[in-house]
Amino acid sequence: MSKRNLLNLALLIFILALVAVVVYEPGKEKPITPPTLTHLKTDDIQHIEINRRLADTNEQDIVFKKTTEGWMMLKPYQLAANTFRIDSILKLLSAVSLSQNNLDNLDQSKFGLSIPQATITFNNKTKIIFGHNKSLNHHRYVKIDSTLHMIADTFYYQLMAKTESFVNHKLLPEKSKITKLRLPQTKFEQVDGKWNVTPKADDFSADSINQLINEWQLSQAYDINKVKTEEKTKADITIHLSSNKILRFKIEKNKDSFNLVNLDSGVRYILAADRKDKLLKLSDLEKSD
């Protein structure tokens, strides 16, 4: 082999050695992946049950089920669930476990596990029990089977949010389609793809009516509260959906907001005051020429 070829081979070996040093960094320890609370995958979760100890009601269960239409709350309300809340709950599955200890030889009461603050169960099988956070800095003890973990405290406070915050803030279920809408002064019914208006309103275009319908299908409350309803209460607004579901709302008088009470579920949707005209008054929409 010529001296030139030997020199090229030596240069090639030197370059490969440099690449190996850069890529593999010999002598440097590889970062350790921290353990997670569970190995469950979020896509595999079909059922979630939460039990909390609340100061005002002692205990309250919340149950969710994944359906073809998305996550639904089964208890205490039968309404579409708040997907943001569900996603936050599911992140608990992959939460970093900062420490793990066997509870067999430990006093569970020292960690607040004898009387749990909250419990969440995934797929009726995997149960995570929340203890206290005494002497911990923004962390909390949780138990899975016989193992004591320590995780970030944010997950506990997410579970302890008011029940109504787990409800979808949209007035209507996702992907729903209105077929009939009765407002205090006007009634709309879709017949053969066209909207019939009673009393008849010839001076409004089809686009303006569609805009009103869209307002109902897209509107969201900025807050939701629980309210007591009477069975004999007359609805101010009735909405028929293509799924054959009927929604009944009562309008509450409030100068600072526009409040709608779902008479069947017993929740109050609180919307911005300017939503009132957009949802009730066809006269504020653009008229046809």
Contacts of 4 (CB under 8 A, 6+ apart): none
Looking at the predicted structure, is the pLDDT value of residue 1 above 70? Answer: no
CA 74 from chain centre, in angstroms, equals 14
Contacts of 47 (CB under 8 A, 6+ apart): 63, 64, 65, 66, 122, 123, 124
The kind and range of the H/E element at 150 are strand 147-152
Region 248-254 average pLDDT:
93
Res 286: pLDDT: 47
Are residues 236 and 196 both part of a single domain? yes
CA atoms of 145 and 126, how far apart (whole Å): 9
Res 20: pLDDT: 57
Bridge partners (DSSP) of residue 268 are 225, 261
Are residues 153 and 191 both part of a single domain? no
Q: Which of 133, 166, 199 is the last residue of a domain?
A: 166
Looking at the predicted structure, is the pLDDT value of residue 285 above 50? Answer: no
Q: How many domains does the chain have?
A: 2
Instruction: Give me the percent of the chain exceeding a pLDDT of 70.
Output: 83
Domain that holds residue 67: 42-166
Q: What CATH number should be reported for the domain holding residue 240? A: 2.60.40
Q: Which two tokens stand for residue 139?
A: 């962390």
Within a domain: 15 = no
Within a domain: 183 = yes
Q: Which of 49-53, 56-60, 242-246, 279-283 has the lowest mean pLDDT?
A: 56-60
Within a domain: 7 = no
CA atoms of 210 and 217, how far apart (whole Å): 10
Nearest to 283 by CA among 212, 220, 216, 215: 212
Q: Which of 109, 137, 166 is the last residue of a domain?
A: 166
- Indicate yes or no: pTM above 0.85: no
End-to-end CA distance of the chain: 93
Within a domain: 127 = yes
Res 105: pLDDT: 85
Are residues 162 and 200 both part of a single domain? no
Does residue 85 contact residue 166 with C-beta atoms inside 8 Å? yes
Res 261: pLDDT: 96
Looking at the predicted structure, is the pLDDT value of residue 284 above 50? Answer: no
Are residues 182 and 129 both part of a single domain? no
How many CA atoms does the CB half-sphere of 257 hold within 13 Å?
14
pLDDT tens digits, one per residue of 65-118: 999 888 999 999 999 999 999 999 999 999 999 999 999 889 999 999 988 889
Are residues 193 and 160 both part of a single domain? no
Are residues 93 and 204 both part of a single domain? no
Are residues 183 and 81 both part of a single domain? no
CA atoms of 274 and 129, how far apart (whole Å): 44
Are residues 159 and 185 both part of a single domain? no
Res 60: pLDDT: 76
Q: Which of 146, 166, 186 is the last residue of a domain?
A: 166
CA atoms of 194 and 1, how far apart (whole Å): 88
Within a domain: 10 = no
Within a domain: 80 = yes
Bridge partners (DSSP) of residue 151 are 140
pLDDT tens digits, one per residue of 176-195: 899 999 999 899 999 988 88
CA atoms of 168 and 92, how far apart (whole Å): 20
Within a domain: 2 = no
Bridge partners (DSSP) of residue 187 are 182, 198
Are residues 207 and 140 both part of a single domain? no
Instruction: Name residue 22's amino acid.
Output: V
Are residues 146 and 236 both part of a single domain? no
Are residues 62 and 129 both part of a single domain? yes
Would you tell me how many other CB atoms lie within 10 Å of the CB of residue 21? 11
Are residues 145 and 54 both part of a single domain? yes
Looking at the predicted structure, is the pLDDT value of residue 26 above 70? Answer: no
**266 or 285: whose pLDDT is higher?**
266
Within a domain: 254 = yes
Q: Which two tokens stand for residue 100?
A: 């793990």
Res 193: pLDDT: 84
